[in-house]
Structure 1
Amino acid sequence: MANSIGIRSAVLVFALLASHGPLVHADEIDLVEIVRNPVIGNYKGYAEFKMAHYDNARMIWEALAQRGNADASFNLGILSEDGLGEPQSMPEALRHYEQAAEAGSPRAQYRLGLLYSAGVKIPKDDARADRWLTAAAAQGDTDAAARLALRNAAHRTPRDQAFYDAETLHAAGQYSEAAAIFQRLAQAGDTRSQSRLGWMFEVGQGVPRDLDQAAVLFRQAAESGDADAQYALAVMLQTGKGQTRNPEEADAWLHRAAAQGHVLATSALKKGVAR
């Protein structure tokens, strides 16, 4: 299973589907229904996030996080780390990431591994970096496994080294520098970099915020088999954000992501949110 920057974003995930109603104002969000259906709730949070409605996204994710939802805690960490709709705060981001990681979120575990490896936003700690990367890799996270291997490798391919460097720069908050490397690798056909860059265009990290360009990159990576990109593209196709709405194609991409073990895609299909 790959990671979104934020990857969060993955990071980086979760949209209000048109079949469940249009985007709403904060006072119209039904938190009771969101808590009752966390998968749909997280979907709604991601849709608000895509539209830069960060207060709405936070309201949804806080309601879910208070009930132990690891995905929601991870997403709150993204808002705090990047200062999206709130003052930037690494202590708050770290609190959310650790809560999510302890609850078993591989995306949070991977993010903590990156942050402790970079040692810029928080003090460098190789032991903690290895602990969280190992935890994520044990859950099948291929990015975490690859980073562990690269951290201990005597020799790396130039492409792997460049990707490793870009991930480290991103974790250090040097978004423009990271984006430049991801762009070079993406143009050379590197699937991971296409997906990473898509998330950066979606948020506007180191590049202008551009959902159309994010969709182009997600589609390139999705067609090459990246599960995170397949999921992100499915959300866009279902909501009509960055792509013309196409529920049938969205469902197809969700199935392709789920076939690779993508947890969020699998949960979405079980809840029938794409139908």
Structure 2
Amino acid sequence: MSISDNLHKPTKALGGLELHYLGDIAVIVMDCGENRLNIPFLDNFNELLDDVEKNKACKGLITTGKGKFYGNGLDLKWLSTLNSPETMKEFYKKLAVWLKRLLLFPLPTLAALNGHAFAGGALMAYAHDLRVMNKEKGWLCFNEVFISRQFLPFHLLYIRTKMGSGHNFTDAIVLGKRYTGSEALDCGLVHAAPSMSLLLSESIQLLKSFYGKSGYPGDSLYLMKCSVYSEVVEQIQKDLAAVDDRPVMNVSNNVKSRL
């Protein structure tokens, strides 16, 4: 069963991404195979986020996948086809700005992990305020250590803010531990771990339990997130500046190795 089986015709569809509304909650469904990150994916996702922000009746955002994956990280095949270091630089900057946008989004956000969330998919999930994970199938895993890639400083800052600095952080980040939904719940890495058939309904219930009937004032929520994640925002700006200052010829190899 897919989460989209409970949804009607999307309000908007772009390149395998669909925007649905269930009452006052927006649901973005990713149906791009393994939902790997590349420039077309980020551009389409941002356009749907624009639509959500313009909908003043919307009080929350859920993102989820369709099928086996929530997200499987960078689109390495797509990256290998890039012949322009400038395009690589553009992708790196778009990815950082997109994660920042999710982190600071002026609505409460929830990642409903229908399946595997690896590497960049896990980074995406942790850019949300809340996480709910299918307990029947799928792993949550920051597997960068296994694929010879390093995190950028701002990645580690916002993950640590949400995960803490104890053994969960070192197990997940240093050792790349794989967590099932039940294990992730036991470790406090997700907020709930229902069966797939209840993933959407429990995600909605959890999200509504925070914003109640009236919802959050968007400006206030945004400013609160800016305050709480101020060190992350500062580090993102430093990371972006470093890319601009780095010689174009070196950007491709550096970004591939660090993401």
Fold conserved (TM > 0.5)? Answer: no
TM-score normalized with structure 1 length: 0.31
Query: Which structure has more strand as a fraction of its residues?
Result: 2
Query: Which structure has more helix as a fraction of its residues?
Result: 1
